[in-house]
Structure 1
Amino acid sequence: MRKKWKVWLVALAFIVFIPWAMVRLAPYLEPHVPDTPFEMPREIVGLAMALLGAYVAFRAVMVLSFSGKGWPGDEPEHLVDTQIYRFVLHPMYWGYTVFWGGVAIHRGSVGLLAETAILGIAFTLWCILVEEPRLRRRFGAKYENHRRRTPTLLPVWRALYWDVHDMPNTTLILMAFFRGLSRILWNVQVEGEEHIPHEGPVMVVCNHVNLVDPFLVGSYFTRPIYFVASDELFRHPLTRWFFRCFKAMPKRRWSRDIASIREMRRRLDAGSAVGIFPEGQRNWDGGPVIVGDEVYRLLRHMGVPVLCVTLVGGHEAWPRWSKLPGICDMTVRFFEPIDPGDYRDVADFRHAVEARIFNFATEPPVPRRALALHKGITTVIWGCIECGGAMTLEETARGLRCSKCGAEWDVTAGLELVNCSTGARMLQRAYHSKLIRLLREGRMDGAIDCVFSIECETRAFRIESTAGLAGLGRGTLTLTGKELTFRSERSTHTALLGDIAFTYLNLANHLVVVGPEGALQFKIIGDSPVRWEDYLSAARGTSARQWKPTGLAAVKAERKRQA
């Protein structure tokens, strides 16, 4: 609490008290100065100086808050010796002084210029007597090296360009916005910050539970993370600009994109942090999404330390099936970096990574406190496990009710389902897993005795390229035990189930089917896209592996020992 008051007092001094004092006292120091023919150049020079000083001071504060995790008047947690802090040794004080000097020149005020000189001397004495000894005690030789190679008064102008090139202003502002928003909405707590490497190449690996995962992890990091993102995010100019601000790198989904791997390698060779989500997509039911070993082979091939991160409460904060976020508590947990070379093979390395990034699955669900607690949950809870009815569940004020058999479930604030008859509690992922098991056993509507027959209305598109979709019109999508067929007034497209390479739900929650005719995208209307993906997987005979918490006891013991 004392630190917060100190920060607020310093902010008030810089924003209110010092400007008020300088403006009020300037007339008493103002001598009579006759008019000169250089009024216009003087005003232009003064304006340029004021803008430069304001920019440098603002930039210094933003970089200090992001990379140093500190504010003016508060000791930073990490030494900031890059970006704007290569421009001049104390850029915030330098910029503030230059700003007032520019204002004085622009107004032609000798008194204000004299006050600016006094202010600059005061800042210099403060830095020499207070700030530099404090930084020297905290960071030692590292700060001494930074002080020796950074100018005190005359700046290195080329550092301004490299500063913005490394971290654009929009990135800093958006990071600060997301950090503040996450504190308000989700009361985010950060654990294991001491494990974050502040320099050198590192692969950041995290579970993927909601839309803001990369922004959350990135905003609590101390340097930019180059996250690998689906190329679907780069189709629209606005989203392309937005994700470019966050240093995202596009990758073709569900394919071996050599260009993106080379870009990852280039970033790591430059000493940057690269982030990936092994699951490849947000999960629907709060459980881990298991993928093949290719991701873990890639991590081993990169040959750099791997920083594992898990988000606890991320699913409850904003489930994929919900249009709006909820209000709950979240925890961003950083684990100690691991070296892929320390593990015997890919399987051992995979177990070590999954034990960390899926650590959230061992903790109880986090209750939501506000907004629509379960509106949209029937997207993933698409059937009744009591009677086998598909798309028969209706959302009520308290939970769900089956229109076929009358079974009812209450949905708790932690998104658990409680059977109103028996009192049995189930997590979403447990309920969804049971739905899939009943479906594969042939006990769900539309798949009785494993004879598949479902249909729905849909709008179809052909994916021609990363940036282009060709509309195929509105029609009917039909799934049988042998084929998937789309019929419209204009055309008919049929794919044998054995010829389908893979299916997935994209960012817009549209069903994407990759087969002999290329990639087709279906916007499911009046039905659940999750249900269609589950039915297609069951009809094709494919199954998702279930994650088992291998080695979690060791990870928990290690965390307790470190605490």
Structure 2
Amino acid sequence: MFRAAWTAKPKSFSIGSPPHLETDLTSAVKPLPAWRYGLPLFNAVVYRGTLVILRLLGRTVWRWRLDGLEKCPLDEPFLLLPNHTSLMDPFFVGSPVNRCIRSMASRSVLKIPYLGAFLKTVGSFPKMKYTKDRAAMQTLQRLFDEGFAILLFPEGNRSFNGETAPLLPGVGRLIKRLGCKVVYARMNTNYFFQPRWAKYPRWVPIEVTYDGPHTYDPDQTAEQITADAQKHLTVVPHLKNPAATWGFRMAHGLPQYLWACPKCFELETLAVAPDDGNSVVCGCCASRWTLNVECMMSGTTEQSVADAFRAIEAHFGAPPVADRAHFDETGVALRGAGGELLEVPPHDRKGVLKCKGEYQIHTSGLRIVDGDTVLWQASFESIKAISVEMANLLHFRIDGTLHRVVLPEESPLKWDHFLRKWRRHEVGSEH
């Protein structure tokens, strides 16, 4: 039987109320039934129904391997902090827990028709990435005070190579402010289920290890807490035990991530092989690789996808430059023709055209040009919250306004990499 994580708080009038209103309503307000998980009736029914489906999938399709699930508190608030590589991670790690889990999700995800409405119904609330969001923090504090467990991803984004990224510095401050218990959830195989760059999922067992609950001394600094959280969440993707695995069209999406050939390093030359959806081939040097479920590339060279990307990253340097001779002459590190810049208002997912022309990452910042005329330009310091969202859409914010980069013939992950690294070089931070 599931246990309730929340009960309705009885209302009572203050001492300063008129005598005829000084009445304790404890006996008049009944706590919500345990099965409601503290949710409105409709939300509770949807949440319960979703749990039934997810747990059925977990025991059959996902082949859950859960360790330490009993360590999650059932009758007090806590933070559930997992590593993050897959869109399905909230369901992988949250649905096994026998209580209501309220999840902090990207605001852009919750704007997606139908999906956003569903996620809100089952308890998700929005947070703007890589920027201060007072409303999200107030919502989190309120839910925590009401006794809910809160799930959030301290890396701030999904990892492309399955390895745990550096945690956001605000994680330690949040834990310290709440003074709460923390349960860490390490997922070793979720990356293999569907890498962030992949278009199709694979059939692998989902392994989750729950670690905790941990508490921190008030004298510990936020930096110390963040460092400890990083230690608990650091994983290298692997299958702990031998298991049957299977995948199809595993190379679809890989050319977006490997935006240069890891052999000849020509830009945008990899493509899915026409005769095999599990293979990629370079249109320049004709090198060919075949992928397996564990993201190993066999063929011209033997390497993992992560190592192939690291080779590309090392080749183009830091900060990266696409054409060294052209850069030395013009100061342009990367350029792409036929681009558009959209300004995305808060309640409009499509965006409004702001400028179009050739995109350039220049030593002075990001700019759009038409021949020798600069149509639009922004310094690296003014560009913040750089992120690639669902459908590989590249976004950033300037003065709080969301902008979207549209380059139909270019990999948005290439532009994301160049823009982040140049911002780090000029400003000291990628966000």
TM score, norm. by length of structure 2 = 0.80
Spell out, residue by residue over 1:413-449, the C-alpha distance to the aligned partner (whole angstroms, 9 max, x if none). Answer: 211123535xx433x2232223222222588644566
Distance 2:239 2:200 in 1: 24
| 1:455/1:477 contact within 8 Å kept | yes
Aligned mate of 2:310, from 424, 433, 449: 433
Q: CA deviation at 1:170?
A: 0.8
Alignment partner, residue 420 of structure 1: 300
Which segment is superposed worse, 299-308 or 448-457? 448-457
Give the letter for the 1:288 counterpart: T
Alignment partner, residue 351 of structure 2: 470
| 1:290/1:544 contact within 8 Å kept | no
| 1:285/1:380 contact within 8 Å kept | no
C-alpha spacing 1:334/1:303, structure 2 compared with 1 (3 Å): same
Q: CA deviation at 1:228?
A: 0.8
- Mapping of residues 475-494 of structure 1, within 5 Å: 475-481=356-362, 482-486=364-368, 492-494=375-377
C-alpha spacing 1:437/1:176, structure 2 compared with 1 (3 Å): same
Q: CA deviation at 1:273?
A: 0.4
Aligned mate of 1:208, from 67, 84, 105: 84
Residue 336 of structure 1 aligns to a residue whose secondary structure is: strand
The answer to whether 1:519 aligns with 2:402 is yes
Aligned mate of 2:105, from 213, 229, 237: 229
Q: CA deviation at 1:406?
A: 3.0
Aligned mate of 2:338, from 427, 440, 457: 457
| 1:503/1:512 contact within 8 Å kept | yes
The answer to whether 1:329 aligns with 2:205 is yes
Residue 280 of structure 1 aligns to a residue whose secondary structure is: coil
C-alpha spacing 1:307/1:535, structure 2 compared with 1 (3 Å): same
| Structure 2: runs of 5+ lacking an equivalent | 8-29
Residue 66 of structure 2 aligns to a residue whose secondary structure is: strand
Alignment partner, residue 194 of structure 1: 70
Distance 1:298 1:157 in 2: 30
Alignment partner, residue 407 of structure 1: 287
| 1:193/1:334 contact within 8 Å kept | yes
C-alpha spacing 1:477/1:214, structure 2 compared with 1 (3 Å): farther
Q: CA deviation at 1:268?
A: 1.6
Q: CA deviation at 1:352?
A: 2.2
| 1:510/1:524 contact within 8 Å kept | no
Paired positions, count: 393
| 2:102/2:124 contact within 8 Å kept | yes
Give the letter for the 2:419 counterpart: L
Aligned mate of 1:243, from 119, 123, 131: 119
Q: CA deviation at 1:517?
A: 8.9
Which structure has greater strand proportion?
2
Aligned mate of 1:184, from 45, 60, 63: 60
| 2:6/2:146 contact within 8 Å kept | no
Aligned mate of 1:370, from 243, 247, 255: 247
The answer to whether 1:264 aligns with 2:127 is no
Distance 2:124 2:142 in 1: 14
| 2:262/2:309 contact within 8 Å kept | no
Distance 2:232 2:279 in 1: 32
- Mapping of residues 22-33 of structure 1, within 5 Å: none
Distance 1:394 1:468 in 2: 30
Alignment partner, residue 557 of structure 1: none
Q: Larger relative contact order (C-alpha < 8 A, sep ≥ 6)?
A: 2
Alignment partner, residue 387 of structure 1: 264
CA RMSD of aligned residues (A): 3.4
C-alpha spacing 1:172/1:446, structure 2 compared with 1 (3 Å): farther
Alignment partner, residue 165 of structure 1: 40
TM score, norm. by length of structure 1 = 0.62
Q: CA deviation at 1:477?
A: 4.3
Give the letter for the 2:272 counterpart: E
- Mapping of residues 288-303 of structure 1, within 5 Å: 288-303=164-179
Q: CA deviation at 1:492?
A: 4.1
C-alpha spacing 1:497/1:268, structure 2 compared with 1 (3 Å): closer
Distance 1:281 1:469 in 2: 22
Which segment is superposed worse, 412-421 or 206-215? 412-421
Q: CA deviation at 1:202?
A: 0.4
| 1:317/1:326 contact within 8 Å kept | yes
Spell out, residue by residue over 1:440-494, the C-alpha distance to the aligned partner (whole angstroms, 9 max, x if none). Answer: 2588644566751320434542122255553207844412323423469xx9433
Distance 1:412 1:236 in 2: 32
Distance 1:391 1:495 in 2: 26
C-alpha spacing 1:157/1:235, structure 2 compared with 1 (3 Å): closer
| 1:500/1:515 contact within 8 Å kept | yes
Which structure has greater helix proportion?
1
The answer to whether 1:536 aligns with 2:419 is yes
C-alpha spacing 1:530/1:468, structure 2 compared with 1 (3 Å): closer
| 1:368/1:414 contact within 8 Å kept | no
Residue 386 of structure 2 aligns to a residue whose secondary structure is: strand
| 2:319/2:418 contact within 8 Å kept | no
Rg: which structure is higher?
1
Q: CA deviation at 1:514?
A: 2.2
Alignment partner, residue 21 of structure 2: none
Alignment partner, residue 382 of structure 2: 499
Give the letter for the 2:108 counterpart: E
Spell out, residue by residue over 1:32-68, the C-alpha distance to the aligned partner (whole angstroms, 9 max, x if none). Answer: xxxxxxxxxxxxxxxxxxxxxxxxxxxxxxxx4xx2x
Distance 2:210 2:49 in 1: 24
Alignment partner, residue 17 of structure 1: none
